[in-house]
Each structure stands twice: as C-alpha cells, then as structure tokens.
Amino acid sequence: MAKKSLTHLNEEGRARMVDVGGKEITAREATAEAIVSMKAKTMRLIKEGAIKKGDVLAVAQVAGIMAAKRTPDAIPMCHPIQITGVDINFRFIDDEHLVIEAIVRTLDRTGVEMEALNAAATAALTVYDMAKAVDRGMTVERVRLLAKSGGKSGIFKREER
C-alpha cells in the first residue's frame, strides 16, 4: 500500500506552507456553522437587545467578518488570500440554540474553508463573551464545514445538517 504524503510536511517531516503559486485563480466559496447553546432566558435577552454589553448579534457579526480576514494570523499554514465577501447569518432554531452561519468568498488560488470556520467559531465565541455575565453555562458546539466550491477538489456539500 502506497503511503500518502501530507502536503504540509516537507521531505524531513517538518511543517511547511504549501506553494500555491502554480494553481489557477478561481472563484471559491465556503460555508461553515457553529451552534451556541444557552438558557432560554439568555436567548430572550439577546433577542430583546437587553444584554448589558450591547447588541450581541451586531458585535458577533463584525467579529466573524474580522476573524475571516485575520485567519492566517491564527492558523499557521493558512495562506493570506484576497477575500471578496463575508456574510454572517444568525438563526434561532429553538429557545436555546442559535446557529451562526459564515459564508466566505474569494477569487484566489486556495480555498476559504478555514476562513469560514474561523468566522463561525469567532462569532460564536463573541456571543459567549457578550452574554457570559448572565449564562456562563453556554456552549459553542458543532463548528463544521457545510459546503465548499471551487478549486481542483470541486464541490463538497455536507449531507446532513
């Protein structure tokens, strides 16, 4: 059985940043999500804009966008890329769960999966930070890639949501 090599390791087995210089520039998009689980009272306060630190969703939205742009600063082997768009969406699925969806787009040589994941996770952590005074038991759950398109590997779409 042939041993598959990892692209982020050099011949000596040490970490390296993959050279994407020879790859074609294509339109790429990735969608990721994170879920914040909280008490119903906390959710109500967020919806009513009654959290003392301010508008939780507005701050989380900006934090997610900023995180997408700063992903290479947090993920060592991530390439700085030209992000062309970031959307952060919020959906209340019941009285205790907030879904945060991050969609990131680029025209570049490498994908934006890490940017989308970082955006969703950071927006979720920001919700926690903004509301922790009323609910320290909140959890950030299921940070995951939902879909990606573009590039050599083509399309990925998670079957179950």
pLDDT over 90 percentage in the chain: 73
Interior/surface letters 131-142, b for 16+ CB within 10 angstroms, e for the rest: beebbeebebee
Per-residue pLDDT band for 2 (boundaries 50, 70, 90) equals: very low
Q: Specify the pLDDT at position 1.
A: 43
Distance CA 88, CA 109 (A): 23
pLDDT tens figures, 48-69: 999 999 999 999 999 999 999 9
The answer to whether 95 is a known catalytic residue is no
Instruction: Please spell the DSSP secondary structure of 32-72, one letter per residue.
Output: EEEEEE--HHHHHHHHHT--TT--HHHHHHHHHHHHHHTHH
Average pLDDT over every residue of 140-146 = 97
Q: Return the biggest CA–CA distance within the chain.
A: 60
> What strand order describes the sheet that includes 97-108?
83-92, 97-108, 26-37, 139-149, 156-157
Active-site hit among 73, 94, 129, 135: 129
Residue 4: pLDDT above 70?
no
Domain ranges of the chain: 32-151
Q: Residue 94's Cα: distance from chain center in Å?
A: 22
Domain 32-151 fold:
Alpha-Beta Plaits (3.30.70)
Per-residue pLDDT band for 161 (boundaries 50, 70, 90) equals: low
Distance CA 148, CA 32 (A): 9
pTM to 2 decimal places: 0.90
Q: Specify the pLDDT at position 134.
A: 95
